[in-house]
């Protein structure tokens, strides 16, 4: 009968075990089935034009696997930043929120199992007049080298090439191909920045000499030209490469120059367009050069706003 003397302890111990299990399951990331179950709620809450942001960012792959490209298109997932979006839907787990949407006004919230869905309003969205990455193809653009003068031809059926871990990002089938090898092309790809977040940009590996120039035609201009540049972080973090110069010219006038040095990460640049501001149809050139082209896997994005 002696063991029964302590039987009364079973109830509080069971309660503590249940409490511990509750906290363990509450802090456990959603399973693939739970991600699949939240899809209808996301479809009901997300409106056309909304940016879908997953918090924390490391849950992005699980979210994309469940939600698909329709709800999380690559253009949004690998965005340069969130400034252009009037609204966002934050899908958060584990009580996490993204600093990218700090200061946005909460319009609504909804709890679905382990998920919190918050629709947010951008207090000051910007109007993008022209996105250069979206127009990096004929008839909107062409590509050439300057030393020696070279023309880079457009193709829609180039072999898709991926560099693998530690190599270059994927070269798409649609790209401008330049003489000298597969590295010398201009096309839309995705790099990983210093936080290993995806960034959609225009691959533009410089030549050994001169500039590789991407020229856009009949561009409507805003007040400024704004963008970001960087290298795949696994390459850039070595801090062993030569600086890369991006020169922007509008109708032949240089409006700005940005120098990228290893370690800068996904670095922003912005140039005032001055007398060219508001032009209805300008010619805009992005010229990339470096004194030493080894592993200069430069990629940039830009818009005018």
CATH of residue 250's domain is 2.60.120.260
pTM of the model: 0.87
| Domain match, 181 and 201 both | yes
- Bridge partners, residue 144, by sequence: 151, 213
Rounded to 10 degrees, what is the CA torsion of 195, 198, 204, 206? 20
| Domain match, 111 and 66 both | yes
| Domain match, 105 and 134 both | no
In this prediction, residue 165 carries a pLDDT of: 78
The verdict on residue 252 lying in a domain is yes
CA distances for 262 relative to 155, 211, 212, 236, angstroms:
31, 19, 20, 5
The verdict on residue 27 lying in a domain is no
Neighbouring C-beta atoms of residue 292, cutoff 10 Å: 12
In this prediction, residue 163 carries a pLDDT of: 86
| Domain match, 111 and 147 both | no
3-state secondary structure of 116: strand
The verdict on residue 249 lying in a domain is yes
Which residues does the chain have with pLDDT short of 50?
13-14, 16-25
How many domains, in total, are found in the chain?
2
In this prediction, residue 93 carries a pLDDT of: 98
HSE-CB of 260 using CA atoms within 13 angstroms? 31
Which of 59, 88, 121 marks a domain boundary? 121
Supply the range of the domain harboring residue 181: 130-304
| Domain match, 109 and 165 both | no
| Domain match, 140 and 280 both | yes
Which of 90, 121, 152 marks a domain boundary? 121
Q: What is the CA angle 116-46-43, rounded to 5?
A: 85
| Domain match, 117 and 137 both | no
In this prediction, residue 278 carries a pLDDT of: 98
């Amino acid at each position: 009968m002696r063991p029964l003397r302590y039987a009364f302890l079973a109830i509080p111990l069971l309660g503590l075990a249940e409490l511990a299990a509750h906290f363990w399951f509450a802090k456990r990331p959603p399973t693939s089935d739970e991600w699949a179950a939240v899809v209808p709620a996301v479809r009901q809450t997300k409106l056309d034009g909304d940016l879908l942001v997953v918090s924390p960012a490391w849950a992005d792959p699980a979210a994309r696997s469940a939600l698909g490209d329709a709800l999380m298109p690559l253009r949004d997932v690998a965005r340069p930043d969130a400034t252009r979006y009037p609204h966002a839907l934050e899908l958060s787990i584990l009580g996490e929120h993204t600093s990218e949407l700090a200061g946005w006004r909460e319009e609504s919230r909804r709890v679905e199992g382990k998920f919190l869905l918050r629709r947010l309003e951008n207090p000051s969205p910007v109007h993008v007049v022209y996105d250069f990455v979206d127009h990096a193809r004929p008839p909107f653009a062409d590509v050439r080298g300057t030393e020696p003068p070279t023309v880079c031809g457009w193709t829609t059926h180039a072999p898709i090439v991926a560099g693998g871990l530690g190599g270059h990002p994927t070269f798409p089938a649609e790209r401008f191909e330049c003489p000298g090898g597969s590295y010398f092309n201009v096309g839309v790809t995705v790099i990983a920045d210093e936080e290993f977040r995806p960034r959609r940009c225009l691959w533009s590996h410089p030549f050994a000499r001169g500039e590789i120039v991407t020229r856009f035609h009949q561009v409507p201009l805003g007040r400024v030209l704004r963008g970001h540049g960087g290298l795949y972080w696994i390459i850039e973090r070595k801090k062993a490469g030569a600086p890369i110069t991006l020169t922007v010219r509008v109708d032949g006038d240089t409006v700005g120059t940005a120098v990228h040095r290893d370690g800068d990460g996904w670095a922003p640049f912005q140039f005032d367009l001055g007398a060219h501001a508001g032009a209805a149809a300008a010619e805009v050139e992005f010229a990339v050069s470096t004194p030493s082209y080894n592993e200069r896997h430069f990629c940039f994005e830009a818009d005018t706003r």
